[in-house]
Structure 1
Amino acid sequence: MNKEYAVGLDIGGTHITAAVIDMAEMKVMDFSVHKETFDSNMPVNEVMDVWEKAIRTSFENSKVEKTSGLAVCMPGPFDYTNGICWIKEQSKYEHFYGLNVRDLFQDKLDLSVDFPILFENDAVCFGKGEVFKDSDNLSKKVMAITLGTGLGACFIDKGISISTGDLVPTDGEIYNLPYKEGMAEDFVSARGLLAGYFALSGKNVNNGLELFNLAKTGDAMAIKTFEQMGEDLAAIVIPWLEKFEADSFIIGGKIANASEFFLPSFNAKIKEAGLEITVFISTDNEVAALLGAASMLYKA
């Protein structure tokens, strides 16, 4: 029996990671993981050039002869069924609004119209991948979030993503929940951190990594900024952890790497709320997202 392989893509606001997935064993093929960083506000054709490079490099490095599908993790808002991007005013993908990304992939990679190209929310892919990695989670209720250029979320009950009903916010999203004088993502995201640091110190930093490095060197304002984000995150998710009756809360995304600075304040608020829940940081966000994406094709 011939093995089947798929290309999994984890696409964020500043990066794309591609890998070839062995669909029989649901594992990432050796040497196939390839990452490119880019500015998602570049013209569409330039972004597509970067995506094509990542996909072709991954495929070539995997040494497989062919793939049977493309599974894509994309941030929202996005019409995942039809492949249409509705991201707007989020400091990313400014030129993709209203475009059919499935068509863009077909044209760029010269794929037939019947070649499977499936899309899913990046946070849902991450959450499904984490659940897939630990079979114990298949019997639990899990809320997972991704912290990066945006604030992604998913709610998974016994391995199934829940995005409707009274137990979860609209579409399972938390980035747009009203919070303070704006919405959740204004405070819990890379831009939220930068704004928070400026409010405390009067100084601008270029990105989250720069802020993290300042915290590592003992910059009191940088540390306070992360601590405040931990408190804000707790305030945003606690009502939904309670409604969903989550057993586990998983934190992923690039900002999760700074958990030493925001997790203590987050956990303190969780304890104050009287929640008994397992909180942990994912150590391989991208592998989880890629496996979660591939699971769409596995079930197809």
Structure 2
Amino acid sequence: MTRYIVLDVGGTTIKGNVVTQENELFFPEEKVFDACADGTREELLLNFLSILNQLNPRGDCVQSICFAFPGPFDYARGISYMKGLSKYEALYGLEMQKTLQDLDETGWIKTASFHFVHDIEAFAYGICRRYPYLADKRVFCLCLGTGAGSAFLANGTVVKGTEGVPENGWIYNVPYKESIIDDYISARGLARLSKEKLGTELDGYHLKVMADDGDERAVEVFLRFGEEIGSAIQGFLNGFHPQVLVLGGNLAKAYPNFQDGLHTTASLEGIEVLVEHETSVRIFEGLLANCMRRK
């Protein structure tokens, strides 16, 4: 049976599973691991090896190990160029496949092929598999979490550098206000707003609990966060003219809390807003499709 290991590499956690080419999952629920994203190079590499061996404890033959990684990243060569994003900086310039295979003492990792895909690109392809009606539409995928990940689809294919779309399809590093978009519509952007309003930095989960319990300060934080999102993405809505805006990532779970703010600053008339709660599952599906295309 052909098996693939799929990994959704986030800034806080790494989620993984083992999948067959028929899209059958070995683990009913995804396995979740600490990302150790601010660790040393050695700590990060050992963490990846540990995760791989936990997903394949018997050392069975695996066709491919498929990573969904945030950018900036050289996906063809498997080299991370993340810097100044508070995650995986110790891996900068490292050829991950060769390094992990050199460190492998079990043997099965050495024989597997490696595939690296932009995490939101994988998400976008997974979205198309989950919702076939999107195949002929213009779709703007935006995942909100430790960063602001993005991908643009036209007729079921990821597009980059066309009208209204940045060179790589990434909006995170586009200049915005005093820095870049990533600093405003991400977990740290939300934390900054909570610091301003509540005097302390809170994450999305705790803010959502407070807002759902009627705390007006938390409600205001989410309203402002939604306004920030709308303001940041309006230029891409104008340039790309999507028919569907897909929101994913952990912060998308708070969409009911920030949707009013979003609609205040973004012109969304005629645009369907689709909130996807199973971000990692869609990424796994997109990774599998990508690996099978390239094998």
TM-score by length of structure 2 reads 0.91
Q: CA deviation at 1:121?
A: 1.0
| Percent identity for Structure 1 against Structure 2 | 26
Measured against aligned partners, the alpha-carbon deviations of 1:80-133 in whole angstroms (never above 9, x if no partner) come to 111111100111112111112222332344457673211111111111111111
Q: Aligned pair 1:121/2:121, yes or no?
A: no
TM-aligned CA distance change 1:108 to 1:241, over 3 Å = farther
- Aligned residue number for residue 40 of structure 1: 37
Match of 1:287 among 278, 281, 284: 281
Contact 1:154 1:173 in 2 (8 A): yes
Contact 1:148 / 1:255 at 8 angstroms: preserved in 2? yes
In structure 1, which of residues 245, 249, 266 is the aligned counterpart of residue 262 of structure 2? 266
In the TM superposition, residue 149 of structure 1 has moved relative to its aligned partner by 0.6
Q: Give the 3-state SS of the residue equivalent to 1:28 in structure 2.
A: coil
Aligned mate of 1:22, from 5, 20, 26: 20
What is the one-letter code of the residue matched to 1:8? Answer: V
SS of residue in 2 equivalent to 1:166:
coil
Match of 2:130 in 1: 133
String of CA shifts for 1:3-52, please: whole Å, max 9, x gaps.
422111100001111111121x2343343731112331111222233322
**Structure 2 counterpart of 1:53, one-letter code:** S
How many matched pairs? 292
Q: Is the 8 A contact 1:17 1:54 kept in 2?
A: no
Counterpart selection for 1:277 from 265, 271, 276: 271
Give the residue type in structure 2 aligned to 1:83. G
Q: Who is 2:64 aligned against?
A: 69
Taking the aligned partners of 1:108 and 1:159, their CA distance within structure 2 comes to: 38
Aligned position for 1:186: 183
Q: Taking structure 1 as reference, are residues 39 and 112 closer, same or farther at Cα in structure 2, changes over 3 Å only?
A: closer
Residue 88 of structure 2 is aligned to residue 93 of structure 1: yes
Indicate the SS of the match to 2:87.
coil
User: CA distance change for structure 1 residues 39 and 291 in 2, over 3 Å: closer, same or farther?
Assistant: same
Report the Cα distance in structure 1 between the residues aligned to 2:174 and 2:215, rounded to whole angstroms: 31
Cα distance in 1 between the residues matched to 2:259 and 2:134: 22
CA RMSD between the two structures:
2.1
Contact 1:16 1:51 in 2 (8 A): no
Alignment match, 1:239:
235
The residue aligned with 1:7 is: 5
Structure 2 counterpart SS, 1:170: coil
In 2, Cα distance between equivalents of 1:211 and 1:32: 26
Give, as a single letter, the amino acid of the residue that structure 2 aligns with 1:216.
Answer: D
Displacement of 1:136 in angstroms is 1.1
| CA 1:6–1:274: 2 relative to 1, 3 Å | closer
The SS at the match of 2:89 is coil
Residue 206 of structure 2 aligns with an amino acid whose one-letter code is: E
- Give distance in 2, aligned partners of 1:32 and 1:276: 36
- For structure 2, list consecutive stretches of 5 or more residues without a partner in the other structure: none
- Say if 1:21 and 1:291, in contact at 8 Å, map to a contact too: no
2:237 counterpart letter in structure 1:
L
Aligned with 1:229: secondary structure?
helix
